[in-house]
Amino acid sequence: LDSIKQSLQEKNILFTITRDDGYTANNAVNALIKDLLISIIIIFILLIFTLGFKEAIIVSLTVPMILSLTLFIGFMLGESVNRITLFALIVALGMLVDAAIIVIENIHRHKIEHPNMDLETLSINATNEIGNPTNIATIAIIMVFIPMFFVGGMMGEFMHPLPVFVPISLAVSLFVAYAFTPYLVK
């Protein structure tokens, strides 16, 4: 309003701001982003103790890649970023790292079992070994969110980002887990 305030006053149009939800929405979005960053840090710390420092860094790097690609795909589909979109990404966050953790854990296990094997061959074999179960698990989770497309009315409009962004983020996480995680292990 500040940008058009002068032109409105010149036309003798008076206005009074009775409610400013932009401030509240901005604070809510900032809180969600802060929670998202805290979640990534917690995941990183937990993975240090279970997989090791390098593996924790790799999985932690996949999270911003997945979220960036998900938001880009959403943008290409004409979706907007709002509170429910960010909530969908937070809901998906725990599931986003599943594929990357499974891939990197299996590569880690293969490195321990076959210390003299070429790392490229080892990464390919380890990733192929867990491919089908990881694909099926990801598809099963995606299928859980598909019925939300059929929710109608105001609730359907409100919850629309969940069945859009969660499946997209899970599909992207599977792509990142297979394309980048084995490469980053080297």
HEC sequence for the chain: CCCCHHHHHHCCCCCCCCCCHHHHHHHHHHHHHHHHHHHHHHHHHHHHHHCCHHHHHHHHHHHHHHHHHHHHHHHHCCCCCCHHHHHHHHHHHHHHHHHHHHHHHHHHHHHHHCCCCCHHHHHHHHHHHHHHHHHHHHHHHHHHHHHHHHCCHHHHHHHCHHHHHHHHHHHHHHHHHHHCHHHHHC
Rounded to whole angstroms, the Cα distance separating 183 from 104 reads: 10
pLDDT values of the chain reduced to their tens digit, one per residue, 186 residues = 677 878 888 888 877 777 777 777 778 778 877 877 888 888 889 888 888 888 888 888 888 889 889 989 999 999 888 778 888 888 887 788 888 888 988 998 998 999 888 888 999 899 999 989 999 999 999 999 889 888 888 888 888 888 899 999 999 999 999 988 888 887
Rounded to whole angstroms, the Cα distance separating 167 from 145 reads: 7
Residue 154: how many CB atoms within 10 A of its CB?
8
> What pLDDT does residue 176 have?
92
> What pLDDT does residue 76 have?
93
> What pLDDT does residue 160 have?
86
> What pLDDT does residue 130 have?
92
> What pLDDT does residue 1 have?
65
> What pLDDT does residue 38 have?
86
